[in-house]
Amino acid sequence: MDGVLSQEEINALLNNPGASSDTADGQLSDSEKDTIGEIANISMGTAATTLFSLVNRKVEISTPVVTMANWDDVVKAYERPCVFIRIGFTVGLDGSNILILKEHDVKVITDLMMGGDGTNTDVELGELHLSAISEAMNQMMGSAATSLSSMLNKKIDISPPVADLIDLTGNIDEGAIDDFLTQPFVKISFKMEIGDLVDSEIMQLYPVSFAREMCKSITETMTGGNEPIQEATPQPAPAPAPQPQASQTAPQPQPMMGQPMMGQPMMGQPMMGQPMMGQPVDMSAMYANQQVNVQPAQFQNFTGDMNGVFPKENIDLIMDVPLEVTVELGRTSKSIHDILDFAPGTIIELNKIAGEPIDVLVNGKYVAKGEVVVIEESFGVRITEIIK
């Protein structure tokens, strides 16, 4: 949805914005979890659309589940080697997050990106797979950052993602992956389906401080932050033309660029009661009150020969177009080894028998058969048969 929030989502984000102050350090309040869930839902929805364009398969990502977790929780959830993809924010936000995909899922995605059918998963995961999945995540999380920019009303940019294969069955120093993994962090779980090839769970890990920064930014954006909404100053103007509305309303305050007014949706946001992206639209209701001018189509009558034979004057227009006539004595196939052995005096046997008619081609199309004749000092061809 490219960062567009419904009115219900705006109300949920604004609900009890100060609850985090009553929460102990290292934990998120319920309202903060709801806010992070809404942000992740919109961001990953945009990322799923980007992934669909890369793999050309239907991609579905479920509603996120936000919980607090630690490193042991991650190890228990993923018992086999998996791919950690670290995405750092360079503009707009200060922090990083980690996306975790199962090894099999990465093989399927990269195989589809390389033109396969997604079943070539028996190969060992190598640098080519990691490079491909990094590029996929760069495009997916780049589109998600665009959604965040719309939600937070400021430019958000990311660094190129870095993918690593991690074997969670061994002794892993989580601090070597990222410092925030040594403390409690925010875990966002999604269910991802790619056609009938992938039905798995992916995880996104946030530092608590980073999650709170996003909650604070979205709350300030929804409430207008410290910048008051400016009301448009009326300017002297000529008397306006009569309006079709029966009643007049007082001028409404104009929102600043990228900031919604309280009780009104953001730019591009559907109003209450209107369908959101992905829901069917009742076009009959949309145009029920509009006058539509419908007229029958008018076509000119055909002239000329209706039997498919064009008048002669039409053919005359192309009579001077040159065509290439080729006389083919015969053909044969040779390997590169044989061709490299060619030398003056080499005899090449063709597929034509001596005395057999030769082929006449016009612009590469076989049109006639003929026989070779000698006209003074030049060779010629006498047409013996026209090919229909």
Confidence of residue 325 (pLDDT cuts 50, 70, 90): very high
Inter-residue contact 219 to 14 (CB < 8 Å): yes
pLDDT at 160 over 50: yes
Q: pLDDT digit string (tens) for 219-242?
A: 777 776 544 434 444 455 555 555
Check residue 228 and give its pLDDT.
42
Amino acid type, 189: S
Q: Strand 325-328: give its sheet, edge to edge.
A: 325-328, 358-362, 365-375, 378-386
Check residue 314 and give its pLDDT.
65
Inter-residue contact 106 to 125 (CB < 8 Å): yes
Mean pLDDT of 313-322: 74
DSSP string, 168-204: TTS---HHHH-GGGGS-EEEEEEEEEETTTEEEEEEE
pLDDT at 212 over 60: yes
Q: How far apart are CA 54 and CA 140, in angstroms?
A: 9
Mean pLDDT of 172-179: 77
For the record, the structure tokens of 348 come out as 């090449």
Domains present along the chain, CATH in parentheses:
7-223 (3.40.1550.10), 317-386 (2.30.330.10)
CA-based nearest residue to 124, from 162, 81, 74: 81
Sheet strands (E) in the chain:
59-61, 65-69, 82-91, 95-102, 157-158, 162-166, 185-194, 198-206, 325-328, 358-362, 365-375, 378-386
Average pLDDT, the chain: 75
The more confidently predicted of residues 265 and 152 is 152
Check residue 386 and give its pLDDT.
92
pLDDT at 132 over 60: yes
What 3-state DSSP class applies to 138? helix
Mean pLDDT of 114-135: 87
Q: How far is C-alpha 254 from the geometric centre of its chain's CA atoms?
A: 34
Question: What is the DSSP secondary structure assignment for residue 306, as one 8-state letter?
Answer: T
* Torsion-angle region of 162 (φ positive above 0: left; ψ -120 to 50: alpha; else: beta): beta
Check residue 288 and give its pLDDT.
56
Q: How many residues does the chain have?
A: 388
Q: pLDDT digit string (tens) for 24-72?
A: 456 788 888 888 888 888 888 888 888 888 888 888 888 889 989 888 8
* Token pair 């992206």 in the structure block, residue: 277
Confidence of residue 368 (pLDDT cuts 50, 70, 90): very high
pTM tops 0.75? no
